[in-house]
Structure 1
Amino acid sequence: MTDSFKIDFAPLAPAKAEKRAAPEKAAGSKVDSKTGSRTDVPHTLVIFAGEGNAFSAATLQFIGPAGEALIKRAAAVAKFKGKKATSLEILAPAEIDADRVIVVGAGPIDDGRQENGRKEAVEPVPADKTAPGASDYANLGGFVCGKLGRGAHALVAFDLARAPDDLAAAAAEFALGMELRNYAFDPYKTKKKDDSEENSRSEIIIGLSDPAGAKREAKARLAVAEGVLTARSLVNEPANVLYPEEFARRAKELTKLGVEVEILDHPAMQALGMGALLGVGLGSVRESRAVVMRWRGARPAKDSGKGASKSKSQPIAFVGKGVCFDTGGISIKPAAGMEDMKGDMAGAACVVGLMQALAGRKAKVDAIGIIGLVENMPGPQAQRPGDIVKSMSGQTIEIINTDAEGRLVLCDLLWYVQDKFKPKFIIDLATLTGAILVALGQEHAGLFSNNEPLSENLLAAGLETGEKLWRMPLGPAYDKLIDSKFADMKNTGGRHAGSITAAQFLQRFVNGVPWAHLDIAGTAMNSPSSEINHSWGSGFGVRLLDRLVADHYEE
């Protein structure tokens, strides 16, 4: 998080105004977000109304009868009815110790499965229902953050008309949504907005009956938010700044959190026989890298280190495609839109963000993250269509299209992580195919897997976080499309079923390990804005996989 955006939790008590100042003076009055005393920063009160402008008992006590009457009169004039994703802003009445009031429509209780759940602020399902609801609280937080804008000093009266069983957890999810929505990537803007540093600093107090519980719940979630924002920033960076060596250097910074990081350079990968991965980067002056990250959290550390236990438990593994820029190589892409190919490393960014999240919240699991970092450029040494390369597995691959390079990076990493770490499962993430956008658009990522329990757990985590997946088919009829006349396989299977044949290619490098492939080409970058993300790079996958780990794989 940043120093310019602070969130804290406090007890929710009725707002009492002691001889409120005259309106013209109150308009410029300020409040200290921690003490409640007026300073030189405007104060906003945020409350929630259910559909039909129903307020909870705690909210009614907070605003008082006069405040309720004024708000309902204003709502009638504005035709505000408390529907989800709507809001009403008014000057605060004298009885409320604030300068303005934002009434946010929470809508009716929702079942958590609506198709537009990522785009609308909703009141989530109670904890005793089976349908996921965590993403709805995060969306609500993002919606409120957007309404407050930058430089807000606000008190959020976090009490809904039908409060969830675990209010503290809901408040923590709400705070997570605010953190994610507040993110902006602007380090290369030389002309900033006119807001002074002081006026752009936000302090948000979330008031509720269990602030201590909310703080405990929020600690882990904000560590996850840090991982999401790291992934977003990596995807947003230009390729002249974030090339393979620099990406690896940034991943190395996870050692500060107790993550073990090993960087494999070109000679090291060559010695391992990673001919498929290395072939992709031959046309670039930037050498390829692979980064192996390990978090050992399955058992408490017996030494005085920062969290790296020496557990011998079977780890879980995550693999990320990191093509730092993809021209297509000799099979070069059209010029239009090629600038977006700086984001072809979003799978690797997600793995780095996930490892940061797991380490940041001290997850009780042993996890491996491995990323392959290359540039796919045309050049004198670039591989050509028709070339045959030998992968680490010993299998040979005929290069049909040099723009089908991501699978070449992943196949060597999949083999390496199986051979060295013997994981419980492997999940790989990649902006692998444009075909997945044709199939699913930008609402779902494609899920391919050889394992039913792993698939079911991933789908459930997607619903819970709002990072939704859709199961796609695999099978022998698709697999035969990548058979080659000259090698063990070819790297493309023709025009049809492109995302499926890409997954079939990867499956040839999986040896009986539970495995899932997530094609995130439609969701990782340039996806539609949501309540919690207005960034070009979305950080898709970090929350999804963290939730998967938390729900099923921690000790």
Structure 2
Amino acid sequence: MALTLAHAATAPARSTQVFILPLGTTTLPSAAATDLPEAARHYVEAALAAEQKFVSLNHFSHQHYFAVLEKKASPDLQLEALRKAGHQLQAALKKEKTADVFIENLSDNPDAGLALAEGLFLAAYEFEGYKTDEKSRQAASLATITLVGDATPAARVTELQHVLDGVAFARDLVNMPLNKLNAQQLAERLAAAGDEAGYTTDILDMARIESLRMGGLLAVNLGSPEPPTFSILEWKPENAQNEKPYVLVGKGVVYDTGGLSLKPTPNSMDMMKCDMAGGAAVGGTLYALAKNNVPLHVIGLVPATDNRPGGLAYVPGDVLTMHSGLTVEVKNTDAEGRLLLADALSFAKKYHPELVIDLATLTGAAVRAIGTEGAAVMGTAAPDTTAQLLAAAHRVHERLVEFPLWDDYADHMKSDIADLSNLGKGDAGHISAAKFLERFIEGTPWLHLDIAGPAYLTAPDSYRGKGGTGTGVRLLYEFLTKQLDKG
């Protein structure tokens, strides 16, 4: 069942309600205590005086919950605390098998209700999966989250619904195994989402990919029994404010064995269905932009294939001629994502874009550097553009750490027989991978996001859950819509 966000002027009597209270509250506002018996009100106020940040009251037929704004170092962190409170709330609602909940923001932070609803929605996400045993299938109880009153405009509730639907779409794609989502099926699902949301999709097949001489994508696909795809998603409303489009590029490796440079252990391969998380994020972002009719021209590019060691698979030592005309010596077939991205970045230049942003689960080095708590960003965009992306990352708490792209790192990617090698040194692998990509997007403002850490989690983490997180959708939506403010 799809989870719905709604808006209402008031909450019905005897309904499950959540009240967001101002920082330091010890006395309940009248709006939060109208139907509470005196003993219940005293109980809540005693808990607030004891500095409890989340208080619950069980009336058996319904529940009341009280979430208090927390004192944090920044407004962004205060909103993040509310998202995490949404995860705590979801656990309580699930225990009570609550179907409908009403949230009223009584604090002075106008975004508080949206942040709590966002955390609740994302915490309630469950991948439908493929279980057939009814006992093992747990139907989600929560159906509707309603934000109450004038503190949160209805238009913003609708906007948030579409963004979170985009995140859920991306999560679903990442959680699907290869036998349910090969390159062709990924392209078809991206196209189906476009039909629903309003963006257009052009799926390039093998013949068209060959005609474009995308040597990187074609090489990675050689070991697969199934053909590659290259999806072009475009959202171009008539009232677009940007003359030059923003181009988003997402790695679409639907499964990665490492090719002939086979990944060393089963544990390093069993989650490799997530290697298309960048492409999923591009699809989720285009979905959110189109559903919300955002007046920006945005193009998404998703090169897709699996990477296997079968058949005529490419081998270490091969030299590839890329879409750009540059040649690449293959040193490791498990460094395949950069080959797909290189062709897509070169292709992106034909649009003369305002900015290109790529997202990829690219390197273990990024995970070792940052963990699952954030992603790495590098690029050639103007410093103020990078600063805007970093600010957006903090606002949605999909944090980024900027790494350098010094010219010295180009030496890591030198080849004796080709323009480039696809493998760098043992150190700074996430940087040398970005330095490789830079050669294919020269002359165009560009930012590279290595999302290998946060894109897929093997253990639950608050509202991010377990499995695919949809990392990148909220971040890109926040960044792109803020570009409208500049006009």
Contact 1:89/1:100 (8 A) holds in 2: no
Deviates more, 1:450-459 or 1:527-536: 527-536
How much has 1:256 moved relative to structure 2? 3.1
| Aligned mates of 1:483, 1:54 — CA distance in 2 | 67
| Aligned mates of 1:403, 1:418 — CA distance in 2 | 26
2:190 maps to 1:190? no
2:316 maps to 1:385? yes
Deviations 1:322-370 (A, max 9, x none): 1111000000002322110111010001001111011111111000000
Deviates more, 1:170-179 or 1:274-283: 170-179
From 291, 295, 298, the counterpart of 1:360 = 291
| Aligned mates of 1:101, 1:279 — CA distance in 2 | 58
1:139 aligns with: 84
2:247 aligns with: 317
Go from structure 1 to structure 2 and tell me whether the alpha carbon gap of 1:219 and 1:45 turns closer, same or farther (over 3 Å shift). closer
Q: Structure 1 counterpart of 2:42, which letter?
A: A
Contact 1:280/1:374 (8 A) holds in 2: yes
Give the structure with the higher percent helix: 2
| Aligned mates of 1:475, 1:504 — CA distance in 2 | 9
2:186 aligns with: 247
1:443-458 matched pairs, under 5 angstroms: 443-451=373-381, 452-458=383-389
Contact 1:104/1:144 (8 A) holds in 2: no
Go from structure 1 to structure 2 and tell me whether the alpha carbon gap of 1:68 and 1:334 turns closer, same or farther (over 3 Å shift). same
Deviates more, 1:137-146 or 1:427-436: 137-146
1:128 aligns with: none
2:191 maps to 1:222? no
How much has 1:232 moved relative to structure 2? 0.2
Contact 2:27/2:45 (8 A) holds in 1: no
Go from structure 1 to structure 2 and tell me whether the alpha carbon gap of 1:217 and 1:62 turns closer, same or farther (over 3 Å shift). farther
How many residue pairs match? The answer is: 481
Deviates more, 1:63-72 or 1:385-394: 63-72
| Aligned mates of 1:57, 1:90 — CA distance in 2 | 16
Contact 1:223/1:357 (8 A) holds in 2: yes
| Aligned mates of 1:433, 1:403 — CA distance in 2 | 10
From 221, 224, 241, the counterpart of 1:284 = 224
| Aligned mates of 2:136, 2:368 — CA distance in 1 | 42
2:390 maps to 1:462? no
2:38 maps to 1:69? no
From 115, 120, 143, the counterpart of 1:173 = 115
2:6 maps to 1:11? no
Go from structure 1 to structure 2 and tell me whether the alpha carbon gap of 1:101 and 1:81 turns closer, same or farther (over 3 Å shift). farther
2:141 maps to 1:200? yes
What's the secondary structure of 2:270's corresponding residue? helix
Deviates more, 1:399-408 or 1:131-140: 131-140
From 169, 173, 178, the counterpart of 1:234 = 173
How much has 1:240 moved relative to structure 2? 1.0
| Aligned mates of 1:437, 1:194 — CA distance in 2 | 33
Contact 1:446/1:471 (8 A) holds in 2: yes
What's the secondary structure of 1:240's corresponding residue? helix
Q: Structure 1 counterpart of 2:226, which letter?
A: R
2:104 maps to 1:158? yes
| Aligned mates of 2:180, 2:435 — CA distance in 1 | 34
2:93 aligns with: 148
Contact 2:20/2:113 (8 A) holds in 1: no
Q: Structure 1 counterpart of 2:131, which letter?
A: K
How much has 1:139 moved relative to structure 2? 3.5
2:382 maps to 1:415? no
Contact 2:221/2:227 (8 A) holds in 1: yes
Contact 2:245/2:299 (8 A) holds in 1: yes
2:213 aligns with: 273
What's the secondary structure of 1:230's corresponding residue? helix
| Aligned mates of 2:178, 2:187 — CA distance in 1 | 13
2:75 maps to 1:108? no
What's the secondary structure of 2:90's corresponding residue? helix
How much has 1:54 moved relative to structure 2? 4.4
Go from structure 1 to structure 2 and tell me whether the alpha carbon gap of 1:343 and 1:155 turns closer, same or farther (over 3 Å shift). closer
Gaps of at least 5 residues in structure 1 are 14-34, 93-97, 113-124, 126-130, 301-310
Contact 1:461/1:547 (8 A) holds in 2: yes
| Aligned mates of 2:347, 2:100 — CA distance in 1 | 50
2:430 maps to 1:499? yes
**Identity percentage of aligned residues:** 32
Contact 1:58/1:159 (8 A) holds in 2: no
2:32 aligns with: 59
How much has 1:65 moved relative to structure 2? 4.3
How much has 1:140 moved relative to structure 2? 3.3
Go from structure 1 to structure 2 and tell me whether the alpha carbon gap of 1:400 and 1:45 turns closer, same or farther (over 3 Å shift). same
TM-score scaled to structure 2, two decimals? Answer: 0.91
1:91 aligns with: 58
Go from structure 1 to structure 2 and tell me whether the alpha carbon gap of 1:6 and 1:410 turns closer, same or farther (over 3 Å shift). closer
How much has 1:279 moved relative to structure 2? 0.4
Contact 2:147/2:157 (8 A) holds in 1: no
How much has 1:107 moved relative to structure 2? 4.8
1:31 aligns with: none
Q: Structure 1 counterpart of 2:71, which letter?
A: I
2:261 maps to 1:261? no
Q: Structure 1 counterpart of 2:16, which letter?
A: T
TM-score scaled to structure 1, two decimals? Answer: 0.81
Deviates more, 1:353-362 or 1:255-264: 255-264
Contact 1:431/1:520 (8 A) holds in 2: yes
| Aligned mates of 1:263, 1:465 — CA distance in 2 | 31
| Aligned mates of 2:83, 2:153 — CA distance in 1 | 14
Deviations 1:266-309 (A, max 9, x none): 11111111111110110000111100010002617xxxxxxxxx
| Aligned mates of 1:416, 1:205 — CA distance in 2 | 44
Q: Structure 2 counterpart of 1:315, which letter?
A: P
Q: Larger C-alpha radius of gyration, 1 or 2?
A: 1
Contact 1:327/1:378 (8 A) holds in 2: yes
Contact 1:262/1:292 (8 A) holds in 2: yes
From 471, 477, 494, the counterpart of 2:408 = 477
Q: Structure 2 counterpart of 1:175, which letter?
A: A
| Aligned mates of 2:135, 2:404 — CA distance in 1 | 48
Q: Structure 2 counterpart of 1:422, which letter?
A: H
Go from structure 1 to structure 2 and tell me whether the alpha carbon gap of 1:101 and 1:499 turns closer, same or farther (over 3 Å shift). same
The CA RMSD measured in Å over matched residues stands at 2.6
Deviates more, 1:172-181 or 1:391-400: 172-181
2:21 maps to 1:81? no
| Aligned mates of 1:438, 1:195 — CA distance in 2 | 36
How much has 1:108 moved relative to structure 2? 3.1
